[in-house]
Structure 1
Amino acid sequence: MLVIALILRGLSVGTGTQQSETHPSLSWQQTSKGGSGQSVSGSVVLDSNWRWTHTTDGTTNCYDGNEWSSDLCPDASTCSSNCVLEGADYSGTYGITGSGSSLKLGFVTKGSYSTNIGSRVYLLGDESHYKLFKLENNEFTFTVDDSNLECGLNGALYFVAMDEDGGASKYSGAKPGAKYGMGYCDAQCPHDMKFINGDANVEGWKPSDNDENAGTGKWGACCTEMDIWEANKYATAYTPHICTKNGEYRCEGTDCGDTKDNNRYGGVCDKDGCDFNSWRMGNQSFWGPGLIIDTGKPVTVVTQFLADGGSLSEIRRKYVQGGKVIENTVTKISGMDEFDSITDEFCNQQKKAFRDTNDFEKKGGLKGLGTAVDAGVVLVLSLWDDHDVNMLWLDSIYPTDSGSKAGADRGPCATSSGVPKDVESNYASASVTFSDIKFGPIDSTY
Structure 2
Amino acid sequence: MYKYLFLTILLLTCNLVNCQKPGALNPEVHPSITWQECQEGGKCTSKNGEITIDANWRWVHNDQGSNCYTGNTWSAKDCPDDKTCAENCALEGAQYSSVYGVTTNKDAVRLNFVTQSQGKNIGSRLFLMENETNYQMFYLLNQEFSFDVDVSSLDCGLNGALYLVSMDSDGGMARFPTNQAGAKFGTGYCDAQCPRDLKFISGEGNVDGWVPSSNNPNTGVGNHGSCCAEMDLWEANNMATAVTPHPCDTHKQSMCDTDACGGSASSNRYASICDPDGCDYNPYRMGNTTFFGPGSTVDTKSVFTVVTQFITDDGTTSGTLSAIRRLYVQNGQVISQSESTVPGVSGNEISQHFCDSQKEAFNDPDSFNKHGGLAAMGDALKDGMVLVLSLWDDYFAEMLWLDSSYPTNADASKPGVARGGCSTTSGVPTDVESKYANAYVIYSNIKVGALNSTFTQHK
Counterpart in the other structure of 2:83: 77
Alpha-carbon distance in structure 1 between the residues aligned to 2:249 and 2:288: 33
**What does 1:138-177 correspond to in 2, within 5 Å?**
138-177=143-182
SS in 1 for 2:83: helix
1:366 correspondence with 2:371: no
Structure 2 Cα separation of the partners of residues 246 and 9 of structure 1:
31
Deviation string, structure 1 residues 20-48 (Cα, Å, up to 9, x no partner): 11101110000011100100011100000
**CA offsets per residue over residues 318-358 of structure 1, 9 Å max, x none?**
0000010011100001222x211000000010100000011
Amino acid at match of 2:435: N
The amino acid that maps onto 1:41 is N
Question: What are the within-5 Å matches in structure 2 for residues 160-239 of structure 1?
Answer: 160-239=165-244
**Whole-Å separation in 1 of the counterparts to 2:396 and 2:259:** 20
What amino acid is the match of 1:382? S
Residue equivalent to 2:104: 98
Task: Summarize the alignment of residues 40-439 of structure 1 with structure 2, pairs less than 5 Å apart.
Answer: 40-56=47-63, 58-111=64-117, 113-259=118-264, 261-309=266-314, 310-336=319-345, 338-403=346-411, 404-439=413-448
**Mapped partners of 2:309, 2:449: distance in 1:** 10
Return the offset for 1:441. Answer: 0.7
Structure 2 distance, partners of 1:267, 1:85, is 28
Letter of the aligned partner of 2:343 in structure 1? S
Deviation of the 1:407 alpha carbon:
0.4
Please name the residue that 1:3 is paired with. none
| Residue deviations 1:142-186 (CA, integer Å, cap 9, x gap) | 000000101000000000000000001110221110000000000
Structure 1 pair 44/76, CA: closer, same or farther in 2 (3 Å)? same
Over 3 Å counting, the alpha-carbon distance change for 1:66 and 1:408 in structure 2 is same
Give the residue type in structure 1 aligned to 2:238: K
1-structure distance, mates of 2:111, 2:127: 12
Give the conservation status (yes or no) of the 8 Å contact 1:8–1:78: no
Task: Provide, for residues 42-82 of structure 1, a one-character-per-residue CA deviation record: whole Å limited to 9, x for no partner.
Answer: 110000000000111x2211000001011110012221222
Work out the CA distance in 2 between the residues paired with 1:389 and 1:439: 33
8 Å CA contact 1:224–1:373 kept in 2: the answer is no
Distance in structure 1 (CA, Å) of the matches to 2:313 and 2:28: 43
CA apart distance, 1:260: 5.2
Aligned mates of 2:31, 2:263 — CA distance in 1: 35
CA distance in 1, matches of 2:78, 2:266: 30
* Comparing 178-187 and 252-261, the one that deviates more: 252-261
Q: Structure 2 CA distance, aligned partners of 1:322 and 1:259?
A: 40
For the pair 1:14 / 2:21, whether they are aligned, the reply is: yes
Pairwise CA distance, 1:8 = 5.5
Tell me by how many angstroms 1:7 deviates: 8.2
1:24 aligns with 2:27: no
1:169–1:175 CA contact under 8 A, matched in 2: no
Kept in 2: contact 1:158–1:226 (CA 8 A): yes
What is the CA-CA distance between 1:305 and the residue it aligns to?
Answer: 0.2
Distance of 1:377 and 1:297 partners within structure 2: 29
Cα separation, 1, equivalents of 2:267 and 2:173: 34
The one-character-per-residue Cα deviations of 1:59-114 (angstroms, maximum 9, x if unpaired) are 21100000101111001222122211110000000000001000000000001x21
- What is the alpha-carbon distance in structure 1 between the residues aligned to residue 308 and residue 251 of structure 2? 23
Letter in 2 for 1:366: L
Residues 391-431 of structure 1 show CA distances to partners (whole Å, capped at 9, x for unaligned) of: 00000010000124320100000000000000001110000
Alpha-carbon distance in 2 for matches of 1:425, 1:261: 29
SS in 2 for 1:12: coil
Structure-2 separation of matches of 1:177 and 1:378? 14
- The number of equivalent residue pairs is 438
Task: Give the whole-Å Cα distance in 2 for the aligned partners of 1:284 and 1:92.
Answer: 39
Q: Is the 8 A contact 1:306 1:312 kept in 2?
A: yes
How far, CA to CA, are the matches of 1:26 and 1:8 in structure 2?
Answer: 36
Counterpart of 1:211 in structure 2: which amino acid? Answer: N
Pairwise CA distance, 1:261: 4.2
Deviation at 1:255, TM superposition (A): 3.1
Structure 1 portions without partners, runs of 5+: 1-5
Identity %: 51
Check whether the contact 1:91–1:97 (CA below 8 A) recurs between aligned residues.
Answer: yes
Aligned counterparts of 2:282 and 2:341: Cα–Cα separation in 1: 12
Q: CA 1:36/1:359 → structure 2, altered by over 3 Å: closer, same or farther?
A: same
Distance 1:261 1:124, change over 3 A: closer
Give the AA of the match of 2:77.
D
Matching of residue 39 in structure 1 with residue 42 in structure 2:
no
CA distance in 2, matches of 1:253, 1:203: 10
Q: CA RMSD in A?
A: 1.3
TM-score, L = length of structure 1: 0.96
Look up the SS of the partner of 2:86 in the other structure.
Answer: helix
Q: Is the 8 A contact 2:263 2:276 kept in 1?
A: no
